[in-house]
Amino acid sequence: MNMEGNSNFPPEWRIVLLGASGAGKSKTGCTILGQEVFKESVTTQSEIKKGTVEGRNISVVDTPGFFGTALSDEQMKREMEKSMVLTAPGPHVFLLVVRLGRISNQERNIVKWIQENFGLEALKHTMVLFTGREKMTKSTLTDFLETEETQELIGCYGGGWHAINSKGDINYSQITKLLEKIEEMVEMNGGQHYSYEMYQETQRKIREEERERKLREEEKRRQEEEDRQRKLKELEEKLRHEEMERLRREEREQELKKKMEDQRKNREAEERKRLEEECCNRERENRRSLDKEEDKSEKHEKQNRPATVGSIKKDNISLQREVLRRQEERRREEQKRKWMEERSSCGQTSDPVSDVRIVLLGDYISGKSEAGNIILGREAFVSGLNKCRRQDGKVQGKTITVIDTPDIVPFSFTEQKAEMKKSLSMAPPGPHAFLLVIDKNQMMSYATRDFINELKENFGDEILKFTILLFTHDVWSSDFVEVLLRMDGELQSLISSCGGRYHILNTEETEDQGQVTELLKKIEGMMKKNRGQYYTNEMYQKLDEA
């Protein structure tokens, strides 16, 4: 083809080289211009070189390689935009340089990049230029070109393809043929080049699509936030409803407990009255029997016996009366002892010192007595105590002392304070841990809040160093407990004031010693942090005196 005689062809051809890093773009630029104009190293900036080939002025722009340089996506876009400026008013052809061989994902991604950043119009002005032609026979090249991957790559571009030898084995007829194919492609495009205005229009569409994408994402985030707020509101409403139900249930339980307590006191009073009347009646009956026997003996003595024998009989009657009196006193003492044991339990101050000493605190629905039973592995406590009770056991090779205290009742800390002070002496020389037991349905009740404030005021903030929060629950509510722990800011603050120490205990799984093992590890960790120190009577007395 006579390129010089074609008056319709532009006076200058502007070529932009594209390709993956290491594809040989710089060598290809030198080969086209027939001189060493580009440095054969990693290209990091777009660069233009000019020359005359076959009587035609040629401008070649070498660009940074895709995917193999240290340039960011934004820097790569700037260098590509720079190539448009260097070839103003725009390039006639983009040559995608590819080494002959297997088509990789890099080449496919370059197609995508050109389409996204230069637009579909740029594909009409693009030709695939294979290098390394000398390494393939004609038949091998044919087989390569007929592969699905190669056909898919070439089919993306309107300029088709061309193959040339490597720089060292260059055949200049291949360059002439390349220029002819470029001329044919330019003629097919009506002698037009890819313009900077096309590039700007593509970039405008990209910015518009990006803006719309951001708007969609923002709308999506807004909708997700609205959904989150709605679900949070529903959860808060549900929790508020459950809290109201719990308070009503707690009020009913308090009333029932008070009623049962009144009934118990009435029964005890009636029982005491009955026992006293029974004892009095029996004593009066015995006295009447003795009086009758004495009268009868005296009468018989006067009739049949001398004075000395009567004196002996009288002494025997007195002795019998004394025996009966002592038997009655022992029986009444035994009844009193049994009655007292049934209604009150108190720890002993003479018990030996244990390895771990624990005091349980909590209201009547917290499950603290059940927690003590699970720790000791036996039915050691019953709920509803009105005095401290101590129980000892051996758990996992350690001697454990557990003190169960009376239930927390609002506005009655004076009685609770006395029992707590008593618990210090029941676990000599002082407890290692106070377990504040809170039920999952109760959480931070008013009674618990009031008790914590009174506890710190009367026993000092020092007591929190020895305190662990113990949340009790049943089988189905473990996840619910974790949700409430995360959502309740006041509860989080309390946990933080206790050094972040808390444990969740399943009161339904009484045989699961794994949860006891975990609890004892946390207690031992706290003991280690406190360097083996325990809360003593001396600590309380110093605070009380201050």
- Kindly indicate the confidence band of residue 292, based on its pLDDT and cuts at 50, 70 and 90: confident
Q: In whole angstroms, what is the distance from residue 72 CA to residue 346 CA?
A: 77
Average pLDDT of the chain, as a whole number: 81
- Interior CA angle at 526 toward 524 and 527, to 5°? 60
- Kindly indicate the confidence band of residue 519, based on its pLDDT and cuts at 50, 70 and 90: very high
Shared-domain flag, residues 481 and 387 = yes
- Burial grade of 399 (CB within 10 A; 0-12, 13-18, 19 or more): middle
Q: Classify residue 267: in a domain, yes or no.
A: yes
- Cα dihedral 462, 468, 471, 472 in deg (nearest 10): -120
Average pLDDT over residues 295-320: 62
β-partners of residue 435 are 360, 468
% of the chain surpassing 70 pLDDT:
82
Q: In whole angstroms, what is the distance from residue 343 CA to residue 546 CA?
A: 37
Specify the pLDDT at position 303: 67
Q: In whole angstroms, what is the distance from residue 110 CA to residue 106 CA?
A: 6
Rg of the chain (C-alpha set) = 50
How far from 364 is each of 37, 140, 154, 432, 448, CA to CA, in Å?
A: 92, 90, 82, 23, 11
Q: Classify residue 3: in a domain, yes or no.
A: no
- A 10 A CB-CB count for 73 gives 9
Of 13-17, 152-156, 233-237, the poorest mean pLDDT is in: 152-156
Specify the pLDDT at position 340: 45
Shared-domain flag, residues 317 and 177 = no
Q: Classify residue 351: in a domain, yes or no.
A: no
- CB neighbour list of residue 498: distance below 8 Å, 6 or more residues apart: 464, 467, 468, 469
Shared-domain flag, residues 145 and 213 = no
Structure tokens at 161: 């393809």
- Interior CA angle at 201 toward 23 and 65, to 5°? 15
- Pick from 42-46, 87-91, 204-208, 445-449 the range whose average pLDDT is largest: 87-91
How far from 254 is each of 39, 228, 366, 438, CA to CA, in Å?
A: 91, 38, 13, 17
Shared-domain flag, residues 392 and 531 = yes
Specify the pLDDT at position 337: 53
Shared-domain flag, residues 444 and 494 = yes
- CB neighbour list of residue 316: distance below 8 Å, 6 or more residues apart: none
* CA-closest candidate to residue 109, choices 168, 144, 61, 68: 68
Specify the pLDDT at position 447: 67
Of 276-285, 329-338, 522-531, the poorest mean pLDDT is in: 329-338
At 358-399, the pLDDT tens digits run: 999 988 788 889 999 999 999 889 887 788 999 999 998 889
- Cα dihedral 340, 342, 348, 351 in deg (nearest 10): 150
* CA-closest candidate to residue 497, choices 472, 466, 522: 466
Q: Classify residue 208: in a domain, yes or no.
A: yes
Specify the pLDDT at position 264: 81
447 vs 252, residue with greater confidence = 252
Structure tokens at 232: 């949070």
Number of domains in the chain: 3
Average pLDDT over residues 108-116: 84
Residue 61 pLDDT greater than 90, yes or no:
yes
Shared-domain flag, residues 294 and 376 = no
Average pLDDT over residues 438-442: 74
Q: In whole angstroms, what is the distance from residue 3 CA to residue 5 CA?
A: 6
Domain range for 363 is 356-545
Q: In whole angstroms, what is the distance from residue 366 CA to residue 339 CA?
A: 28
Asked which of 289, 312, 343 is the last residue of a domain, the reply is 343
Q: In whole angstroms, what is the distance from residue 400 CA to residue 352 CA?
A: 11
Contact 60, 47 (CB under 8 A): no
Shared-domain flag, residues 394 and 537 = yes
Structure tokens at 262: 């009144």
- CB neighbour list of residue 118: distance below 8 Å, 6 or more residues apart: 80, 94, 194, 198, 199, 202
Specify the pLDDT at position 387: 87
Structure tokens at 26: 């710089």
Helix (H, G, I), strand (E, B) or coil at 2: coil
Average pLDDT over residues 179-205: 86
Shared-domain flag, residues 240 and 179 = no
Of 35-44, 342-351, 466-475, 533-542, the poorest mean pLDDT is in: 342-351
302 vs 14, residue with greater confidence = 14
Contact 347, 391 (CB under 8 A): no
Q: Which residue type does 431 have?
A: P
* CA-closest candidate to residue 281, choices 328, 351, 341, 350: 328
Residue 107 pLDDT greater than 60, yes or no:
yes
Shared-domain flag, residues 49 and 181 = yes
Q: Which residue type does 123 have?
A: L
Q: Classify residue 199: in a domain, yes or no.
A: no
Backbone phi, then psi, for 124, in 5-degree steps? -70, -20
Asked which of 194, 226, 251 is the last residue of a domain, the reply is 194
Specify the pLDDT at position 5: 40
Q: What letter would DSSP give residue 20?
A: B
Average pLDDT over residues 214-241: 90
CATH number at residue 169: 3.40.50.300
Average pLDDT over residues 455-481: 80
Specify the pLDDT at position 81: 87
Shared-domain flag, residues 114 and 177 = yes
Of 90-104, 463-477, 490-504, 514-528, the poorest mean pLDDT is in: 463-477
Shared-domain flag, residues 179 and 293 = no
Average pLDDT over residues 61-77: 84
Specify the pLDDT at position 301: 63
Please tell me the total number of residues recorded for the chain in this structure: 546
Asked which of 312, 343, 374 is the last residue of a domain, the reply is 343
Q: Classify residue 493: in a domain, yes or no.
A: yes
Q: Classify residue 33: in a domain, yes or no.
A: yes
- Interior CA angle at 487 toward 486 and 488, to 5°? 100
Q: Which residue type does 490 have?
A: E
β-partners of residue 52 are 57
Q: Classify residue 88: in a domain, yes or no.
A: yes
Shared-domain flag, residues 151 and 226 = no
Q: In whole angstroms, what is the distance from residue 78 CA to residue 418 CA?
A: 80
